[in-house]
Structure formats: structure tokens, C-alpha cells
Amino acid sequence: MSYDGRPEFQALDELQEILRHVTDELAAWRRRAQRAEGALGAGHDVLAHRERVVELETSNRVLTERLEAARAQIEDLMKRLQFLEEQMAVEEPSR
């Protein structure tokens, strides 16, 4: 579309071309987004997934605390066992 080389019409032609490219790019991004949503499955629920993540993080914290408590108990038992072994070593020569 040419209007005898007038600058304002050339600018309109350039603007139309830019809009055409932007429209094509937007359509491509939309197709990608739709494919990504489709890959998530029909039952994809962001809120439900977020709630599940929060539940798992809470469970992870509880399990980590339990693990730390178990480690502390094991360390205490190891110290007791070491003490008993040392006591037995002290008592054996006297027998």
C-alpha cells in the first residue's frame, strides 16, 4: 500500500507491519501457553497444587524435627554406651 511516498503513509505502513509481527508473536505465545496447559492435564488446579506443596513443606519440617530428635537420642545412647564400655574396661583389670 503506497501513497506516493508521503511520510505519514509510510509510517502507517510500518506501523501495520509492526502490528502484524506483534500479532503473530502473540499468537505463537498463546499456542505455547495452551500446549503447556494441556501438558499439565485437565485436572490442573494451581491452588490445589499450592496447598499440597504447603502440606508437604509442613510435613517435611515435622519429619526434620523428628529426625533431629532421633539423632540427639542416638548421640545420648552412644555416650552412655561409651561410658559403660569405659566402666567395664576400668573394672576388668581389678577382677
Q: List the chain pLDDT tens, one digit each, 95 residues.
A: 555 678 888 888 899 999 999 999 999 999 998 888 777 766 667 788 889 899 999 999 999 999 999 999 999 999 999 999 999 888 887 66
Would you say the C-alpha torsion 60, 65, 70, 71 has a positive or negative sign? positive
| 21/49 same-domain check | no
Q: Output the pLDDT for position 42.
A: 62
- Cell matching residue 75: 548421640
| 57/74 same-domain check | yes
| 49/39 same-domain check | no
From the list 57, 35, 56, 53, the residue with the least C-alpha distance to 45 is 53
Which residues span the domain enclosing 82? 45-95
Q: Output the pLDDT for position 4.
A: 65
Q: Output the pLDDT for position 23.
A: 94
pTM: 0.46
| 37/70 same-domain check | no
CA 36 to chain centre: 17
From the list 84, 79, 33, the residue with the least C-alpha distance to 71 is 79
